[in-house]
Chain A
Amino acid sequence: MTTKNVLLILSSPINKLSEEALLAVFALASFEHHIQIALTGEALQLLKNPAHKLCHMLASIELYDIPAVWLVNDKQNSPMENDLNHDHKNHENNNNKNNNENNHSNELAFATLAMAANAPDFLNATHTFDMVWQV
């Protein structure tokens, strides 16, 4: 009996399949498999919507001993990256204005995602997993 290292890469626009993929890796993590989640491509748009259900799901990864999500932006200094930085600042400003429970939850989701800015060299890292699953 061996635990497996699984990398889930969410790259398509977020939809039902993304949610199903997260549910699957959460279940695998519950059975001691090692999970790493990465967001890239169109899925990075998720960061613009911290109230999204998937953000809340990602906020719970610590419960499954899943390390911080990797944010993989393959276009350095792209408009996407600037958008994300801009949105992050806006989000912080919004939280300062209104500190209700809902915003606290959103902040938690965003913080979990933002933690992973120091993802390792992505292409090299993918070779170290037993299974790479791209959605």
Chain B
Amino acid sequence: MNQLLLFITAHPREASFSNALAHAQKHLRTHKKLTVFFYADAAYIANAYNWQPANEPNLQKAWQALANTHDIPLNVCVSTALSRGITDVENSKRHQIFAQQTTQPENTDTPHTQATAYAHNLAAGFELVGLGTLAELMHQADDVQQF
């Protein structure tokens, strides 16, 4: 079956990160089984507020398209994501992370900031999971490659 696990740690701006996507696309052309785990700086790919200029490849959309086409979960390490300001609603509730709204009241120079709701900015298709998931994926994989 040749199940491949891609363990991606590179920052999305690094060449290595783009290489991982190319490798995944190539693998899926000839094999069916692929799993992915984003760790450390690679977790930045899961930020829904990422913006790319039109003349640059949108790696987040590319991963989402790949995951959608081949039904691949995009696993992201929860602790490294949270430490980089990326969270889903569940973890926002657990860790009391609130979105904040800053307003400028009349007759004062001091802005007023207040928590409005639980923050969440995890991009669609990505899932926050623990390192236990990585260990399990590694057990299941025939081959592991790190980027």
Q: Which residues of A contact B (CB under 8 A)?
A: 1-4, 6, 16-17, 20-21, 23-24, 27-28, 30-33, 130-133, 135
Query: How many angstroms from the CA of A21 to the CA of B80 in the assembled complex?
Result: 11
Asked whether A23 and B131 contact (CB < 8 A) given A4-B138, A28-B138, the answer is yes
Q: Mark B126-147, 1 if CB is under 8 A from A, else 0.
A: 0000011011101111111110
A2–B135 Cα distance when bound, in Å, is 11
Determine which of B41, B80, B132, B146 lies in contact with A31 in the assembled complex, contact meaning CB atoms within 8 Å: B132
Q: Which A residues lie within 8 Å of B132 (CB)?
A: 27, 31
Q: Which residues of A contact B135 (CB under 8 A)?
A: 27-28, 30-31, 33
Q: Would you mind naming 29 contact pairs between A and B with Cβ atoms under 8 Å apart?
A: A1-B139, A1-B140, A2-B142, A3-B139, A4-B138, A6-B144, A16-B83, A17-B9, A17-B40, A17-B41, A20-B40, A21-B9, A21-B40, A23-B79, A23-B131, A27-B134, A27-B135, A28-B134, A28-B138, A31-B132, A31-B139, A32-B139, A33-B135, A33-B138, A33-B139, A131-B7, A131-B144, A133-B7, A135-B9
**Once bound together, how far apart are the Cα atoms of A30 and B130, in whole Å?**
13
Closest residue of chain A to B143 (Cβ to Cβ) is A130
Extra inter-chain contacts (12) besides given A16-B83, A23-B79, A27-B131, CB under 8 Å: A17-B9, A21-B40, A24-B39, A24-B77, A27-B135, A28-B135, A31-B136, A31-B139, A33-B139, A130-B143, A131-B7, A131-B145
Bound together, the chains give a CA A41 to CA B142 distance in angstroms of: 31
Within 8 A of A (CB), among B55-87: 77, 79-80, 83
- Expressed in whole angstroms, the Cα–Cα distance for A6 and B60 within the complex equals 28
Q: Is the interface of A mostly helix, strand, loop or mixed?
A: mixed
Q: How far is the CA of A7 from the CA of B80 in the complex (A)?
A: 21
Chain B interface size, as a band, is 20 to 34
Contacts of B77 in A (CB 8 A): 24
Chain A residues near B141: list those with CB within 8 A: 4
Specify which chain B residues have a CB less than 8 angstroms from the CB of A130 in the assembled complex.
Answer: 143-144
A132-B146 contact in complex given A20-B80, A24-B134, A33-B135, C-beta closer than 8 Å:
yes
What's the minimum C-beta distance from A1 to chain B, rounded to whole angstroms? 5
Question: Is A20's CB under 8 angstroms from B139's CB?
Answer: no
Chain B residues with Cβ below 8 Å from A3 are 139
Residues on the B chain within 8 Å of A32, using CB: 139
Give A55 to B83 CA distance when docked, in angstroms.
Answer: 22
> What residues of A have a CB within 8 angstroms of the CB of B39 in the complex?
20, 24
Q: Within B91-147, which residues are at the interface with A (CB < 8 Å)? A: 131-132, 134-136, 138-146
A133 nearest CB neighbor, chain B only:
B146
Q: How long is the Cα–Cα vector from A133 to B6 in the complex, in angstroms? A: 12
